[in-house]
Amino acid sequence: MEFKTYSSPHLPVSNSVAVMMQRVLLALLPGSICVFWIFGWGIVFNILLASITALTAEAAILKLRNRPAFTTLLDGSALVTAVLLALALPPLTPWWIPVIGSLFAIVIAKQLYGGLGYNPFNPAMAGYVVLLISFPLELTLWSAPGAQLNFLDTLTLVFTGNLPVGQSLDAITLATPMDSIKTRLGLSETLSEIHDSPLLGHFAGAGWEWINLWFLLGGLWLLQTKVIQWQIPAGMLGGLAAIAFVFYVINPDVYTTPLFQLFSGAAMLGAFFIATDPVSASTTPRGRIYYGVGIGLLIYVIRTWGGYPDGIAFAVLLMNMAAPTIDHYTRPRVFGHDDQG
Partner 1 sequence: MADSGSSFQRQQPAAFGRLHTFHGGLQLPGHCEVTAATPIAAAGIPPLLILPLQQHIGEPAECQVKQGDYVYKGQVIATAPGPVSVPVHASSSGTVIAVEKRPVPHPSGLQANCVIIETDGRDCYQQPDHTTIDYRHTEPASSCELIQQAGIVGLGGAGFPTSMKLCNRSQPIELLLINAVECEPYISCDNRLLQERAAEVVEGVKILLHVVQPDACIIAIEDHMPQAEQALRTALDAVDASGITVTRIPDIYPSGGERQLIRILTGREVPSQGFPADIGIICQNVGTAAAVYNAIVRQQPLLSRIVTVTGDGVAQPQNMDTLLGTPVSHLIATAGGYTKDVERLLIGGPMMGYTAHTDSMPVIKTTNCVLAVSREEMPAPPPAQPCIRCAKCTDVCPAELLPQQLYWYTRSNNYDAAQDYDLFDCIECGCCAYVCPSHIPLVQYYRHAKTEIWTQEVQKKASDNARNRHESKQRRLARIKQERAERMARKKRALSSDGGGEDAKKAAIQAALDRVKRKQEQASTTPKNTDNLTVAQQQLIDAADKRRQQHPGSKTTD
**Interface residues toward partner 1, by CB under 8 A:** 1-17, 19-20, 71, 75, 77, 115-118, 226, 229, 278-279, 281, 283-285, 288, 327, 331-338, 341
Q: Minimum distance between the CB of residue 54 and partner 1, rounded to whole angstroms?
A: 17
CA gap 36, 81 in Å, rounded: 19
Angle at 209 between CA 156 and CA 173, to 5 degrees: 30
Which of residues 54 and 131 has its CB atom nearest to partner 1 in the complex?
Answer: 54
**Smallest distance from the beta carbon of 60 to partner 1, in angstroms?**
19
Task: For partner 1, give the closer residue by CB, 82 or 243.
Answer: 82
Minimum distance from CB of 278 to partner 1 (Å)? 4
Nearer to partner 1, 173 or 283 (CB): 283
User: In the complex, what is the shortest distance from the CB of residue 300 to partner 1, in angstroms, rounded to a whole number?
Assistant: 26
With a CB cutoff of 8 Å and minimum separation 6, the contacts of 77 are 17, 21, 116
How many CB atoms are located within 10 Å of the residue 226 CB? 11
How many CB atoms neighbour CB 146 within 10 A?
A: 12
Instruction: Quote the CA–CA distance of 77 and 82 in Å, as a whole number.
Output: 9
Q: How far apart are CA 336 and CA 341, in angstroms?
A: 11
Q: How far is the CB of 181 from partner 1 (least distance, A)?
A: 37
State how far the Cα of 73 lies from the Cα of 163, in Å rounded to an integer: 36
Query: What's the min distance (Å) between Cβ of 299 and partner 1?
Result: 22
* Minimum distance of partner 1 from residue 40's CB (angstroms): 34
Other beta carbons within 10 angstroms of residue 1's beta carbon come to 2
Report the distance separating Cα 267 and Cα 269, nearest Å: 6
- C-alpha distance from residue 171 to each of 47, 142, 147, 179 (Å): 24, 11, 9, 17
Choice between 190 and 224, CB closer to partner 1: 224
Measured at the CA of 226, the angle between CA 113 and CA 312, to 5 degrees, comes to: 50
Please state the closest distance from residue 123 (CB atom) to partner 1, in A: 12
Please return the burial class of 234, using the count of CB atoms within 10 Å of its CB with bins 0-12, 13-18 and 19+. middle
